[in-house]
Amino acid sequence: MSPTTSTDLVYLSAAEAQRLFTARELSPVELMRAVIERTETMEPRINAFTERLFDQALEQARHAEDRYLGRSGLQPRPLEGIPVATKEKHAIKGRLLTEGSLLNENNIAAENAPVIDRIVEAGGIVHARTTTPEFSAATFTHSRLWGITRNPWNPEFTPGGSSGGAGASLAAGTSLLASASDIGGSTRIPSAFTGTVGFKAPYGRNPGMGPLAADHYRGDGPMGRTVDDVIALQNVLVGPHPADPNSIRPKLTLPATYEDVSGMRLALCIRLGEYDVHPEIEANTRAAARVLADAGAVVEEITLPWTRQDLLTAVAGHYSTIFGAALLEIPEEYRDRLSPNTVAFVELMHSFRDRVSYLDALRVENRLQRQLATALEGFDALLCPTTAIPGWHAGDDLTGEKVVVGGEEVADTLWAAMTLPFNINNRCPVLNVPSGRSSWGVPTGLQIVGHTYDDPTVFRVGKALETLRPWSYTALRQHQS
C-alpha cells in the first residue's frame, strides 16, 4: 500500500521509497517536499541541521524523477532520489567546514570528503548537513556554534554524539539515510539513543579524509532506520579511494539477503569487564539475546577480563598523542572560543602525554585485542549493550565525574558508553541495532560485534533480530505529529 500522508512518506525506509519510485507510485520530488515540510516542523524542536540545501535538493530530485520515468536515458543509481543528511565534518567543496567550532566559523572546504563523493555518485541527494559537538569530540551533541541538539523521542535528553544530528534527523523523519563517523562510539551511541541502526566498519573498510584517516580508532560509516538501508549505504561508501591510502581493497559488497540465525553460536557479555550496567539496559539486552536463542541460535553468556585500568591506559595513550598535540596548535589567545567540554577534554589529554606513552597504549591494546579474540573462539559474534545507561540530559557537558539524571548519579562519565573497547579493537565490525526503550522515554541499543573484518556476520544477526523484533516508529510519529 502506498503512503497516504507526508508523515508516512518521511518514515519510509530508503528501500521502500526506491520500490515506490520504480513502480511510479511515488516521485522523488514528492518525497523531498515531504522531508522539507517535516524539517520545518521538527527543526525548531531538535536542532539537528547546520545547513539546509533544499533548493539544490529539489532540483536533484527532479533529475532523479527523470531517471525513474525514463526521460533522461539514464538508469537509476543505487541511492537514486533518497534524501541523505551528511555529518558536517564530511567536507563538501566550497561550503563551510567548521566542525562545530567558533575557531573555524569561516573555514571553507577545498574538496569533498570521500563519503560525499560516494553518496553523490550513487544518486543520493544531500539535502542537509548535521550537527556535531565541537571537533566531534564528545558523546553528546551541542556546541557554542550550533547550540543544543535534542532527542526526538524525549527532547530533555541528548541524541548522543558525536553523530547526534544524524541520529536525531533519522528519528525525527527529516532524512532517510545519514553519514556518520566513529572514533569512540560516535556512530553507535547516537544510534542507540535514537532507535536507529548504525555501523562501525572495521578500520580501513571505508575511506576517510587525512590526516585522521590514518587513526586506527576511527572510521566513517552509515546510519539508517533499518538494517537493509544501512547495508545499502554501506555498499556505496565501501572500497578503496585515492584520497585514503589506508582504505582496503578489494571492495567488500555486503549481501542483500541472509540466512536466519539457526545454528549460530553467539556470546553474550553484559558488563564487558567492569562496566556498571543500568538494570533497564541489562533487561533489554537479555531480551534481545533470548529472541535470538528462541530462533535457534546458541547463546552463551561469557565474561571478559578487561579492566578499567587497561581500557583507560589504551585510550589515554592514544588520544593524548593526537588531541594533546592538537591543543598545542591552538594559540592561547584563541582558546576562550572553545566550548567548555572541548577545553576540559584536550587539557586532560594533554596531561596524559607525559604519563602514558603511545607505546604503553599499544602494549595494552594488544592485550585487550588478544583477550577478545580468545573469548570469541568458537563463537560467530558477540552481543553486548551499546551504552551502560539509557541516556543523559541534553546540554550536559559531562565535565564532572558523574552523569546525573533526575538528580541521581547514574554512571561515571567516562563509563556511560560501552563503545570504546571496540575502537581499541577497531578491526572488528560492530552493528548497533535497537534493543528496546527505557522508562526515560529513550531507546536503548545492542552492539553486535564480529570477528576481525567479518562484516556479513554482524548484518546476519542484525537482520534476524530486526525481523524477529520489528522496531516501530509509530509511537514517535504519534508523539510528534
Residue 377: count of CB within 10 angstroms of its CB: 8
**Type and span of the H or E element at 238:** none
C-alpha cell at 362: 599499544
- Residues in contact with 313: Cβ distance below 8 Å, sequence separation at least 6, in sequence order: 356, 360, 361, 364
Q: How far apart are alpha carbons 289 and 287 in whole angstroms?
A: 5
Q: How far is CA 323 from the centre of its chain?
A: 21
Distances, alpha carbon 360 to alpha carbons 294, 353, 368, 369, in Å: 44, 11, 13, 14
Q: Can you tell me which residue has the cell 572510521?
A: 219
Indicate if the alpha-carbon torsion angle 472, 32, 164, 162 is positive or negative: positive
Phi and psi at residue 234, to the nearest 5°: -60, -40
| Active site amino acids | 87, 162, 186
Q: Are 182 and 218 in contact (CB under 8 A)?
A: yes
Q: Do you find a cis peptide bond into 211, omega within 30 degrees of 0?
A: yes
Distances, alpha carbon 41 to alpha carbons 10, 35, 47, 52, 331, in Å: 12, 10, 11, 14, 41
Q: How far apart are alpha carbons 405 and 390 in whole angstroms?
A: 10
Q: How far apart are alpha carbons 294 and 357 in whole angstroms?
A: 47
Residue 388: count of CB within 10 angstroms of its CB: 22
- HEC-encoded secondary structure of 276-329: CCCHHHHHHHHHHHHHHHHCCCEEEECCCCCCHHHHHHHHHHHHHHHHHHHHHC
From the list 209, 216, 210, 212, the residue with the least C-alpha distance to 200 is 216
Q: Are 296 and 263 in contact (CB under 8 A)?
A: yes
From the list 352, 344, 294, the residue with the least C-alpha distance to 322 is 352
Q: How far apart are alpha carbons 12 and 395 in whole angstroms?
A: 30
Q: How far apart are alpha carbons 326 and 330 in whole angstroms?
A: 7
Q: How far apart are alpha carbons 459 and 388 in whole angstroms?
A: 23
Burial class (CB within 10 angstroms; exposed 0-12, middle 13-18, buried 19+) of 190: buried
